[in-house]
Amino acid sequence: MEKKRLVVLTGAGMSAESGISTFRDNGGLWDRYNVEDVATPEGWLRDPEMVTEFYNIRRKELQNVAPCHGHTLLALLEEFFDVYIITQNVDNLHERAGSSNVLHLHGELMKVTSSDNPNDESQIIELDTDHLEVEYGEEAPDGSPLRPYIVWFGESVPNIDVAAEICSNADIMLVVGTSLNVYPAAGLTSCAPPDIPIYLVDPAPVRWNSQSKVQHIQMGASKGIAEFIKQQNLK
């Protein structure tokens, strides 16, 4: 029997359970930097050395966190579904938990790329735990300085069309850790077939702009995914 295609959209609330802070959190790394300085093309042009060091720090911090229970549950769901994860997160926690099909909308922290041609696949270099730090001035294959492989504010999202195609073929959608009022999640749910079930895991009350019937599981990421699994009556 062919497995149903489960498309999972994940956002910052997913990684937060692993201890990764966001710009909206109080305290921690992000309070010491302005988003305009470290997550925009203009910030890179103003001070590429500082931006390079900022992401070096983030990579080292990533080594000190582990996938949360929710990450693990999503990986285990591959036994029952054809699972595609579309994430707004730049960490590698889905992959470390064992998920096979992960599409990153906003780039990947463990990769660097050309500052002239950031989306050219031939320019993207994956780092490892023995090489977490990049010195500003290290060169991409095309000779330009390496920059983080991150989609910064003001830049286009190169994988958005791929994500939309994945969503258009979904049988079930599960949204975790991101609001249905915030793009790109809001736009991607509208790409799904109108008659499929959409589950939203969010501990807060949520309004959404969607014609599809949304089932709200008002819990945090891990508990909400566990509840979703319970509701599927998986054998």
Specify the DSSP element, H or E, that contains 224. helix 221-231
Question: How far is residue 7's CA from residue 168's CA, in Å, rounded to a whole number?
Answer: 10
Nearest to 25 by CA among 43, 41, 13, 9: 13
DSSP labels for 32-68? GS-HHHHSSHHHHHH-HHHHHHHHHHHHHHHTT----
Catalytic residues: 106
CB atoms within 10 A of CB 105: 22
Residue 55 CB-density burial (10 A; 0-12 exposed, 13-18 middle, 19+ buried)? buried
Whole-number Å distance between alpha carbons of 51 and 39: 8
* Strand 107-114 relative to strand 125-126, pairing: antiparallel
